[in-house]
Structures are given as structure tokens and as C-alpha cells.
Amino acid sequence: MTAIAAGYPAVVPVPFDPEVQAVLDEIAKNPQPALTRETLPREGVDRMFPDAVTVIAGRDIDAEDRVIPGPAGAPDLEITVFRPRRRDSHVLPAFVNIHGGGMIVGHRSWETSRVVDIVDEHQVVAVNVEYRLAPEDPFPAGVEDCYAAFTWVHEHAAELGVDPARIIVGGGSAGGGLTAAVALMARDRQGPRMAGQLLLCPMIDNTNTTVASRQYDGIGTWQRDMNLLAWSCVLGDDLAFSKDAPAYAAPTRAADVSGLPPAFIEVGEAEAFRDEDTEYALRIWATGGQAELHVWGGGAHGFDMYMPEAEITRAALAARSSWLRRIWQGAR
């Protein structure tokens, strides 16, 4: 199957929120060349955003970089552990973060601010995970790394001061897709059960056939050409856009989505992942599962990162915080 990016919407798009559009207009003033397999950034990506020490400055939070075992026969994994200094309890809930970037770019440091904000607000221990990227390490390398990190946190809960029954895994974009895959893997392998899965605009459908995927071709933040490149790198050209792709790569391919931990699914109304994410919630509900779905009007992909001061971002962060509190409280 061939999937093509034309560079313009094939279907009339839902308009962006005015605050979102204003930021997109500024981004458009400094266009960047399209990425290819050969030009994916690798050197210095960990220095593109403030490091952990800078982000936690002035907060009662400690950060520790660690190296933990990777999957069997694979390299070790780098993680960063964040802990509140003042603990109301010796045992705290935990949040495991998986960073975004289409599974082809990115570094855990890119999301340190998001992770630290969760630690600060909820007084939890957080683990920010580094995983292997495609195309150098295609599927299943990245998702196996993420599963190994989740199981390590569960197995080392006492050492970390974490309640193993209150571990939420989450991430945005590719991180959301990898989170959904880890939840499927934990169910199928009868591994540790996570308390909840925080899926922020998750990248879960490799086929690129939805209406939304055609509405945001050439516009917005994460555009169709990048999504096609990402799936090609992760799955290879033969499976990149196929319905035969593995479910642990593209969770929409899962035949069975029953028995999963409660999900929080957030997506922008004006982004390519809108339809695949809402459909995933519908499928979970059809099994009797829990999925709290938020579709934010006029939101572009990753609007909370690109437009942190927008009103929809403030609303989205409040909704996330509420869900996190409810899941951690309910898992006591």
C-alpha cells in the first residue's frame, strides 16, 4: 500500500483555535527543511531543552540519572528519576513517562518540564525513560525498551519508594502510542498491571487513512509527511501502512482491547490523530473498559507543548490533573 503526502489538505480541515493559529503563524515565518531518514537529528538532541537540574531549580525535587537493564539481549536503558524532597508518605504513587517524537526523534529531556510539573503538583515519583529510535532500531526495539522500563519500576518499587499498585504510564504522541502498546503487552504477557494509561494525542494508527490524517496534510504541527516517514522508519516499507502491522507497534491493530487499565485519551480537534484516538476510546468502551476522552476544540497536535499559554492548554492540564488524582486515589 502506498501512502502519499500532497502537502495540502485533501479534506477541508477543522479550523485551529485562534490562539493556536497565532502560534502556527509565527512558526511558519521560520520554515524548516523536511526531515528524511538521513537528516533525522541525533547529535546534541539532549541539549535542545533545559536539563533536569535547570528545570528543578527552586523546587523541592531531586533528580537522578540512572542506567537500568534493557530487554533481554538488548542495551541498558537510561532513565531519570524525579522525587519530591518532602514526603507525606514513605510510599508514593509513580508516573512513568515515555517521550514523543514519532519514535524517530526526541529525547527524554524534551519532556522534563511536563514530568516535573506532575511530580510537583501530585507529590509522586516519576521515571522519564529513554528508548531506542527508528530507523536505526526499528520495531520492536522501542516498545520493548518501554515495557522493560515499566516492569523495572514495578519490580523496584520498594527501592524507589513507590506503591506498585499506583503506577501510571503516560506520554504524548509517540509516547502515548508506546504507552498504549505497553498496556497491551502487560495484559497479554500477564505482566505488572498499571493503574492507568495517560494517552496524550497518541500515535496509534499506522494506516494514515482517516479523514483527520488527510485534513492536516501540510498544515499544523505534526504533519502527514512526518507521520508517513515515522511509520516507514518504525515498520519498514512493507508493513509501514498495512493493516497487518503488529498491534504492539500500532495499537489500533489490536483485535482485542478488553482488560486494559483505565485510559485518559486527549487529542486536539484540529490534528491528524483525532479520528484514530476517538475510535480507540469507542472500542475500549465497547468492551466495558474505561476511557476518559477529551477532544479539545481547535487544538493542534501537541498544543500543550507548542501553546502553553493558550486557554485550551490550561483547560487540558486541569482535566489531566483531575484524572491523575482520581486514578491514584482509586488505586489505594
What is the reported pLDDT for 90?
A: 81
Cell numbers of 275, please?
479520528
Q: Are 317 and 304 in contact (CB under 8 A)?
A: yes
**Taking the CB of residue 316, how many other CB atoms lie within 10 A of it?**
19
Three-state secondary-structure class, residue 127: strand
Chain centre to alpha carbon of residue 102 = 9
Residue length, the chain?
A: 332
Three-state secondary-structure class, residue 79: strand
pLDDT along the chain (332 residues), means of 10: 89 98 96 93 89 93 97 98 85 97 97 97 98 98 98 98 98 98 98 97 98 98 98 97 98 98 98 98 98 98 97 98 97 80
Among 198, 178, 160, CA closest to 79 = 160
Give me the sheet containing 61-68, strands edge to edge: 61-68, 77-84, 125-129, 92-98, 162-172, 196-200, 263-268, 291-296
Among 142, 148, 213, CA closest to 178 = 142
What is the reported pLDDT for 82?
A: 98
Count the alpha carbons within 13 Å of 64 in the hemisphere toward its beta carbon.
11
Q: Are 260 and 289 in contact (CB under 8 A)?
A: yes
Cell numbers of 218, please?
501540510
What is the reported pLDDT for 1?
A: 55
Cell numbers of 190, please?
500477564
Q: Are 151 and 191 in contact (CB under 8 A)?
A: yes
Chain centre to alpha carbon of residue 148 = 16
State the Cα–Cα distance between residues 206 and 254, nearest whole angstrom: 12
For residue 61, give the amino acid letter. I
Q: Are 153 and 96 in contact (CB under 8 A)?
A: yes
Q: Are 296 and 235 in contact (CB under 8 A)?
A: no
Q: DSSP string of 13-67?
A: PPPPPHHHHHHHHHHHTS--PPP-GGG---TTGGGSS--HHHHHTTSSEEEEEEE
